[in-house]
Amino acid sequence: MIKYTVFPDYFSLSKAAAERIIRQIKHNPLTLLGLATGSTPIGLYARLIDQHRRGKLSLSRVTTFNLDEYVGIPKDHPQSYHVFMQKHLFDHVDIPPARRHFPDTDKSGTQYDLQIMRSGGLDVQILGIGANGHIGFNEPGAAFDSKTRVVELAESTIRDNARFFDHSDEVPRQAITMGIATILQARHIILMANGANKAAAVAAAFQERPSVNVPASCLQTHHSVHVLLDTAAAGDLS
């Protein structure tokens, strides 16, 4: 089941997403969260930090599993997702380091999937969506039964990510990502999208028949998906 909510701006979208996560954690302090990177969830993480600093939220018993990580750059590289998560969340809240997990090319994707399952399974998976419809780094063509693995990044994704690097030739060409089947095992999924550049992908993902050409369209098969959009990202929805 897919539920849509459209907000006037990114701030209110982020606040609403954070409120859903906060309710989940207060309901179950042992929540397992699947975390996304990129610009979309930054506002959500900022709201969690704010509530923690105000003494209204503890994440000390939360366990996190990140969606993906680049291949070919060290964990301490300024553009690695390890550093991203430190900067935008982990350095400011009380999630113990032992409870923070990333897919790792030093281990098999199967081990990551098993670790999630043995921990009890993801309660909530946070997602963004790429302009080409990717979720995590599951690019167009990714099978809906795919598991965590190393993938080649699409040229459009490489171009989109180039803005974060000093030179385009520094952008990694590979990543390790949760697979679509891994994502779909989460009990609840929150997909966030903002900006007119995401409107076509959102419409294709949720108003056309599911297709591997639009990886996010797999979410139509899930029982609990909440799609949070600003008005620009919802612009192509009928």
Q: Catalytic residues, which ones?
A: 68, 132, 134, 139
Rounded CA-CA distance 53/131 in Å is: 34
- Beta bridge partners of residue 4, listed in sequence order: 227
| Contact yes or no for 190/216 (Cβ under 8 A) | no
Helix and strand totals (H; E) in the chain? 7, 10
HSE-up (13 A, CA, CB side) for residue 64: 25
DSSP state of 163: G
220/208 Cα distance (integer angstroms): 10
- Compute the distance between CA of residue 93 and CA of residue 71 in angstroms, rounded to an integer: 27
CB contact set of 112 (below 8 Å; sequence gap of 6+): 65, 101, 103, 104, 148, 178
Q: Which residue has the tokens 């539920």?
A: 3
- Provide the pairing of β-strand 63-66 with 124-127: unpaired
Q: Which residues are bridge partners to 87 per DSSP?
A: none
